[in-house]
Amino acid sequence: MEDQDELFFELKCDGDSIKITPVEFIIYDSETSWDKNWIKTKIEIKAGVFTGTYRGEFMTHDFVAFKKELKNLYINLDSSAKFEGLEGYLKIDIKGDGLGHLNAICVANDAPGYGNKLTSYFYFDQTYIPHLLKQLDKIIEYFPVTK
């Protein structure tokens, strides 16, 4: 099993970054698979002069869906990929221009529904996608979808 310190995915661009690190499953007193798929995460952001760290909650399905969309974006460079949890702690929307240039808009929300929001922008190219896919593979292996 991978060292849990290596479990994260991160976007980087010109000194700015956003890093999502799954910490542990959130164990609810429930029999449903829905509740068994929640993951507590640490979100770290550096955008210009702004930096911050906060906790968020995502589902195993969010990482799987993002990986699928990234794979499609790598093949179809004019498509998009989105990472977004049900609770609204973070939204990453990556769009391709068809030529290999990618633009990501990230909206971080420290307390969804009434908290503060920080919007940041990342620009990179398609050669970064395989690296993200490898990071997501590690997360999905360590935090598999429970059925």
Domain 4-142 fold is Transcriptional Co-activator pc4; Chain A (2.30.31)
Domain ranges of the chain: 4-142
Report the pLDDT averaged over residues 118-136.
Answer: 97
- Contact in structure between 113 and 86 (CB atoms under 8 Å): no
pTM of the model: 0.94
What confidence tier does 1 reach under pLDDT thresholds 50, 70, 90? Answer: very low
* pLDDT score for 29: 77
Which two three-digit tokens encode residue 70?
A: 């990234």
- For residues 131 and 142, give the distance between their C-alpha atoms in angstroms, rounded to a whole number: 17
pLDDT tens digits, one per residue of 14-39:
999 999 999 999 988 778 888 899 99
pLDDT tens digits, one per residue of 96-126:
999 999 999 999 999 998 989 999 999 999 9
Angle at 35 between CA 33 and CA 38, to 5 degrees: 110
Mean pLDDT of the chain: 94
Residues 6+ apart with CB under 8 A from 54: 42, 43, 89, 108, 110
- For residues 113 and 89, give the distance between their C-alpha atoms in angstroms, rounded to a whole number: 9
Which two three-digit tokens encode residue 77?
A: 């460079």
